[in-house]
Structure 1
Amino acid sequence: MAYYSKFSENPMRTRTDFQTLVRDLIAPVAGYIERQGARVDFDEGAAVYPMASSSLEGVARPLWGLIPLTVGSGDDCGWWTLMRRVISEGTDPEHPDYWGPTQSPSQHSVEMAAIGVMLMAAPEAAFVPFSDREKDNLLRWLEEIQHVVLVDNNWLFFAVLVQEGLRKIGRADLIDQELQDRYIQRVSEWYLGDGWYGDGPTLPVDHYGAFAIHFYALLYVHFARDPKPALVKAFRERASAFLVPFSYWFAETGEGLMVGRSLTYRFAMAAFWGMAAVCELDGMSPGQIKGIWARQLRSWRDKPIFTADGLMTRGYYYPNLIMCEDYNSPTSPYWAMKAFMPLALPEDSAFWQAEEEPLPCPDKVYPMPANNTIAQRIEGHSVVHYGAPVRADVQPDKYNKFAYSTNFGMEINALQYAEEFRFGDNILAFSFDRGINWQMRRSNSFSRLDGRMLSLGWSTGEQDVETTIEVADDGSFIRRHVFELARPAFVVESGFAVDQWYEEAEVLAPEPGAAETRLLMQDCDRDDIMKTEAVIAVRGANGLSAIRSLDAYPKFAGAARRTHTNLSAPRTATPFLLARLPAGQHTLTHKFRVSSRRDTDIADLLD
């Protein structure tokens, strides 16, 4: 793992700092493009789609930074000459590096969005210098997006951005306006209220509502040639309504909520805030928006997210393929460049002249009925109790945990080591064969929010459960689970995982240094290790995590040590409580506390 000094040593305070940052992030990629042309390959593996699509990503995704750099300063470091050359090669059917036509569906459609915005925002630098033949090839390749099936989610906006790029350069004759109207109406059907979108008809709630749907809508508002007034009004109003609720997904120090898919795009989390600044949305001051945007970017400076030669890696806080989706290629992380749209603003804009202001998150508990979640502010960080739909077609851990945090990373594959009693975070899981096979939440039957109480009906596929989560001002929360077992079972519940990357996590309760916190299969029948009023608290580099039993069942209190499954640290310890239950009706009740301060008094934490 490597740090990229030009990233980690950049102060990230002024417009000049961020202009330099974009140049320094693109430069290593540009070196590969210069050597390899349109078939750029980092030699770091692959994704589920053909390598030609990965190469297209490597060319198109840096454009998200180059476009605002050009719009705002006119300085492109000479890269448009290079980019035009490889775009010409990639869209020429007779060239050996031709990217190929888009299909139904195809990753090509995703990358066409950046090229569409290129035409919308910077046609003089990016399009006008092409020869007539090069222009014809590019436009013929681009307009194919209107004739293929797109994934029924934020992808629909890719066609809209391409169409608006065509309109900007005077080729409205190529636009299927009925298709655009239908796509925008479809996306509007997923609007949940209070600024929140679901990303598709199953309405999953994740960062795609911000760095995709809102982001693309605001690009339309700002850069489209003749935007429809009604759409401009709707997109601005929805984005303005999103400002305060979405701010609860960020820590005071900038870290974003670790929830949902595609987190390998890292500081793309700042993209919405960048476009909020560009469009001068109502609802927050320029200084508040600037603060959230800049702190999010700075929060990555001390993370080893680069290769030795300055390329972004796949992973989150460290290189990690386990947390990636199958569509994450070596070039995919450069969607993070979407963060830099404020560079399109002039130096004398309100955004760049403003001083950074603190997060506008005054409420310790902030229910969000539109998406069935509750945000809880704890020591400047957020815990979000999650009742949104479980998305089953990607890693379920990114949607089926009871809570997510800006400080404690989620565990992927929470049941991967469950037969060794090493569990991931924030789950309730069942085993009906004495710990060999385990089941956790796969789907919700209902989700209701009543003030500070979130109620969920859910199923593992075999076991139905009703869960209520009560959230308090003091940073604690209680989860109560009601279920009926048809046969005896082991049942486990876990809290947040703590970081033990460079130093071992400490067990502070039931007593300091408690040795017997790992459960072995041969010990499962021992009654002496099962305690009523069980409690477990662990301390790691990023804070403390504790669980206390509030019911009468005897339980084993354990700390699960796991490797390479957490987003924020490659070694973690997760506190859990495990009960052996007979068939019949049961209610498990547990109280949870977390702290990002290592010196928090354990007595106060467990009170």
Structure 2
Amino acid sequence: MTYDPVSANPLAGNPLKTRADVERALRDLFQPLLPYFSEGGARVRLDGAAAHFDRAAADLEGFARPLWGLTPLSAGGAEFDHWELYRRGLANGTDPEHPEYWGTVNGTDQRQVELAAIGFTLKMLPLLVWEPLPQKAKDNLAAYLLHARKHDFADNNWKFFRILVDLGLEECGVEFDRSYTDRYLEELDGFYLGDGWYRDGNIRRIDHYIPFAMHFYGLIYARLARGDAQRVSDYKERARLFAQDIQHWFDEDGGTLAFGRSLTYRFACGGFWGALAFADVEALPWGVVKGHFLRHLRWWSKLPIAHGNGVLSIGYGYPNLFMSESYNSAGSPYWALKAFLPLALPEDHPFWQAEELPADFGTEPVPLKHPGMVMQHTAGNVVALSSGQQNWQMRAGTEKYAKFVYSSRYAFSVEVDERAYHSGAFDGALALSDDGRHYRVRETNEVAQIAGSSLYSRWKPWRDVSIDTWLVPAGDWHIRVHRIDTPRALHTTEGGFAIARADQNADHTEAEPGRALARSRTDLSVIVDLSPGLSRDGRAHAALPNTNLIASKTLVPQLHGEIPPGTTLLVTAAMALPAGTAADTALGEVPAAPDVAAFEALIAREGIDVSAILVPERF
């Protein structure tokens, strides 16, 4: 019998319909970690892979991150058998004389991240976690937290970590300098853009850190803070506004838009829905919020996201280090347990009592001006046309932020060899090469604007090559227009959506001038050249393995062609749908090439800068 990796997923087979199902899911996720706790309880080391921070900090990460789920579990009245283990770990990890000491914070440090979960636990469960500690352990734990909070935290969502530590210290009666807290609360307000949206620091990116960090922590603060009524009111109102937009980053089946960094945190992306419930913010009807929350967990239950021992892997839809960040240790994925915050609520809370309602998105495109996206809901999928953001700090940051199109069902691919142009996946992207070996894609924009449901950007793959790109939805399709000004001939490759590839070449592909198609048992993906005056060659490309975030082997329809020196207009239509009658019908309804002059007039008349582009570039 062959091994089925999906069965190793602790969520597999769980119907995830009720509060009891969600509680079971949390326990099933935690149980595989128990053999990896150190003798003194302070460290959890799951494998030998490294992050950029030291091993002690990584072991603290493995210890602390499960608390995001375990703390709500006990706060909601459930029994948990291992608080003595956690108390022992807290005592030993903060004791400088103990061999499992976590190490001293001496600057911006990963330990500061993990201490947020400890502060949250001290706030929520002082009778279980703080009061039973001997006085020496209390003194050491307090001293450790007080020392760590004196250092600067990173200039982004990290500022909330000091605030969560302070909530815990306050609950335990430990004196601290409140001005540190107030300053960070004010600085976090400086990241607010309006309409419920934040920026994750002063950088050109607006990603999942807005729901699963900025709003998640803000809603915890709104529920737990003493006083500060105006800020509590602001956080709740911002979350109400945000819910109207962020729901469109989810599809009807519970999948979320694969976009940006830290996607190894997986169902943390659904933490926002649980945080609304925790803070009693009915931003959408409770049945709608509950539906988004439960469908998201069910979506993840069907993927091979764990190793054979049940420990969550680094990766997204399967174990994959190619897409990971330099700050991902083996314990990093357990930020996913943020999704279990609603377990702090009793069974009779309106969130749990509500009847789960299905998603009802409609078919009209939804423009989101702050992230610079136009959302398209199609069967089992949500597509985001993206004006393009910027992240040069992360591995594969270009693929995570600057493609033209992202998706929940088809995710995106990361490139694994920057010196193998003809092997690139380039799904949702336009790649250009002047030597046939190296390549350039969009990494950043000089201009990024949105007008209605149309997006425009100007970008330069080289200093002497300029490209204007327009993106527009067209039913199940979308259209991309690229006007390229180049002083030399270039070769171009443009990709559609990547779909899962079967073994033994069992899928159907077509490649001809101006068109490429890939059809599998489950999906259809196609790209069509609408360019005036030239025709690119189609290719159904078998991408290198483990490049796509959801499917470990994929097919990507591509268009290839040379462009001469001067100005060239490339026009592309692309779509992907689940296999079936609707996909076959859409295949016969290729949209016509648009009027580029009309696009230019629309942008000139109605175009506004997307929020991310307004941040000055930092090198």
Q: TM-score range by the shorter chain?
A: over 0.9
Residue in 1 that maps onto 2:132 = 129
Residue in 2 that maps onto 1:558 = 539
Residue in 2 that maps onto 1:343 = 343
Q: Pick one of 503, 515, 526 that aligns with 1:535.
A: 515
Residue in 2 that maps onto 1:514 = none
Residue in 2 that maps onto 1:326 = 326
Q: TM-score, normalised by structure 1?
A: 0.92
Cα distance in structure 2, aligned partners of 1:144 and 1:606:
65
Residue in 2 that maps onto 1:223 = 224
Quick check: 1:536–1:575 contact (8 Å CA) kept in 2? yes
Query: How far off is 1:305 after superposition?
Result: 1.4
Does 1:439 pair with 2:440? Answer: yes
Q: Which amino acid aligns with 2:523?
A: G
**Correspondence 1:202-601 to 2 at 5 A:** 202-224=203-225, 226-394=226-394, 395=396, 396-413=398-415, 416=418, 418-433=420-435, 435-462=436-463, 463-472=465-474, 474-502=475-503, 504=505, 506-510=507-511, 531=513, 534-551=514-531, 552-562=533-543, 563-601=545-583
Quick check: 1:215–1:275 contact (8 Å CA) kept in 2? yes
Structure 2 CA distance for partners of 1:586 and 1:236, relative to 1, 3 Å: same
Question: What do the CA deviations read for 1:81-126 (whole angstroms, capped 9, x no partner)?
Answer: 1100011111100101100112321110000000010111111111
Root-mean-square deviation (Å): 1.8
Quick check: 2:192–2:198 contact (8 Å CA) kept in 1? yes
Structure 2 CA distance for partners of 1:594 and 1:314, relative to 1, 3 Å: same
Q: Pick one of 93, 115, 120 that aligns with 1:117.
A: 120
Residue in 1 that maps onto 2:60 = 56
Structure 2 CA distance for partners of 1:178 and 1:248, relative to 1, 3 Å: same
Question: Secondary structure, in 3 states, of the residue corresponding to 1:8?
Answer: coil
Cα distance in structure 2, aligned partners of 1:420 and 1:388:
24
Structure 2 CA distance for partners of 1:36 and 1:501, relative to 1, 3 Å: farther
Cα distance in structure 2, aligned partners of 1:74 and 1:7:
19
Question: What do the CA deviations read for 1:30-75 (whole angstroms, capped 9, x no partner)?
Answer: 2321656323212242211111011101110111111010010241
Residue in 1 that maps onto 2:592 = none
Q: Which is worse superposed, 3-12 or 143-152?
A: 3-12
Query: How far off is 1:363 after superposition?
Result: 4.8
Residue in 2 that maps onto 1:146 = 149
Quick check: 1:363–1:377 contact (8 Å CA) kept in 2? yes
Cα distance in structure 1, aligned partners of 2:359 and 2:535:
43
Residue in 1 that maps onto 2:199 = 198
Question: What do the CA deviations read for 1:245-281 (whole angstroms, capped 9, x no partner)?
Answer: 1111111111111101111111111111101111221
Identity of aligned residues (%): 37
**Correspondence 1:15-34 to 2 at 5 A:** 15-33=19-37
Question: Secondary structure, in 3 states, of the residue corresponding to 1:459?
Answer: strand
Q: Which is worse superposed, 460-469 or 572-581?
A: 460-469
Structure 2 CA distance for partners of 1:503 and 1:603, relative to 1, 3 Å: farther
Quick check: 2:429–2:494 contact (8 Å CA) kept in 1? yes
Structure 2 CA distance for partners of 1:227 and 1:460, relative to 1, 3 Å: farther
Structure 1 unpaired stretches of 5+ = 512-530
Quick check: 1:432–1:488 contact (8 Å CA) kept in 2? yes
Does 1:45 pair with 2:27? Answer: no
Structure 2 CA distance for partners of 1:12 and 1:220, relative to 1, 3 Å: same
Residue in 1 that maps onto 2:166 = 163
Residue in 1 that maps onto 2:101 = 98
Structure 2 CA distance for partners of 1:51 and 1:3, relative to 1, 3 Å: farther
Cα distance in structure 1, aligned partners of 2:74 and 2:91:
20
The total of aligned residue pairs comes to 580
Cα distance in structure 1, aligned partners of 2:76 and 2:585:
54
Q: TM-score, normalised by structure 2?
A: 0.90
Question: Secondary structure, in 3 states, of the residue corresponding to 2:70?
Answer: helix
Structure 2 unpaired stretches of 5+ = 590-619
Quick check: 1:439–1:460 contact (8 Å CA) kept in 2? yes
Does 1:604 pair with 2:608? Answer: no
Query: How far off is 1:203 after superposition?
Result: 3.8
Residue in 2 that maps onto 1:526 = none
Q: Which amino acid aligns with 2:148?
A: I
Q: Which amino acid aligns with 1:285?
A: P
Residue in 2 that maps onto 1:521 = none
Quick check: 2:507–2:521 contact (8 Å CA) kept in 1? no
Structure 2 CA distance for partners of 1:503 and 1:183, relative to 1, 3 Å: farther
Structure 2 CA distance for partners of 1:390 and 1:503, relative to 1, 3 Å: farther
